């Protein structure tokens, strides 16, 4: 990690501005954790039997973005990115993946998620979560995805330290 160019969330802001900013902050954190590493380093796994890697986290978060924004608000039947069924674990297998492939998919899903959020009239917009069989609000989706990033960025901290000793934000 050579630099920290993340934009922190506002100290005071509307609910929507705050959720949006925290999501983008955590998205930037994941990208920053991967900065400056080769494909091989990004595929480096944590410890047996885990297959978790930084590249696997990027792939997983592409699935999360798709499952919680695209599938909920646009196309309940949209296929997942790396599996024919709803299998979030499939994304963790980054053994044949590259930075280019994983980041292209993740960045495309992030941009789609941002568009969906921007176009929604309010955080009360309802979408249908097919895995749960019920409606959920945009507010709930943004909080859920934010929690996903928070948990997985914690994993990214340990993974990055294991790759090259880099610690910190």
Answer for the pair 104, 48: CB distance below 8 angstroms, yes or no. Answer: no
- Kindly tell me the sign of the dihedral angle through the C-alpha atoms of 84, 87, 92, 93: negative
- Comparing 116 with 8, the larger pLDDT belongs to 116
DSSP state of 66: I
pTM, two decimals, is: 0.93
Burial classification of residue 162, based on how many CB atoms lie within 10 Å of its CB (0-12 exposed, 13-18 middle, 19 or more buried) = middle
Is pLDDT at 1 greater than 70 in this prediction?
A: no
Helix ranges (DSSP H) in the chain? 15-34, 39-43, 54-65, 71-73, 99-119, 138-164
Burial class (CB in 10 A: 0-12, 13-18, 19+), 90: middle
Reported as a single tens digit per residue, the pLDDT across 82-139 is 887 777 677 778 888 999 999 999 999 999 999 999 999 999 999 999 989 999 999 9
pLDDT tens-place string over residues 151-167: 999 999 999 999 999 88
How confident is the model over 27-75, as pLDDT tens digits? 999 999 999 999 999 999 988 788 899 999 999 999 999 999 999 999 9
Q: Is the dihedral of CA 151, 54, 61, 114 positive or negative?
A: positive
């Amino acid at each position: 990690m050579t630099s920290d160019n993340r934009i922190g969330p506002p100290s005071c802001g509307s609910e929507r501005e705050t959720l949006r900013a925290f999501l983008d902050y955590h998205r930037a954190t994941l990208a920053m954790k991967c900065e400056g590493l080769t494909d091989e380093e990004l595929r480096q796994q944590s410890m047996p039997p885990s297959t978790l890697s930084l590249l696997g986290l990027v792939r997983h978060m592409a699935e999360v973005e798709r499952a919680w924004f695209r599938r909920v608000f646009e196309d309940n039947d949209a296929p997942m990115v790396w599996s024919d069924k709803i299998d979030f674990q499939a994304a963790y297998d980054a053994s044949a993946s590259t930075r280019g492939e994983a980041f292209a998919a993740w960045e495309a899903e992030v941009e789609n998620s941002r568009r969906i959020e921007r176009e929604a009239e309010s955080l009360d917009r309802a979408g249908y979560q097919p895995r749960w069989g019920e409606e959920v609000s945009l507010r709930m989706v943004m909080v859920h995805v934010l929690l996903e990033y928070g948990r997985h960025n914690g994993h990214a901290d340990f993974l990055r330290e294991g790759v090259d000793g880099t610690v910190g934000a």
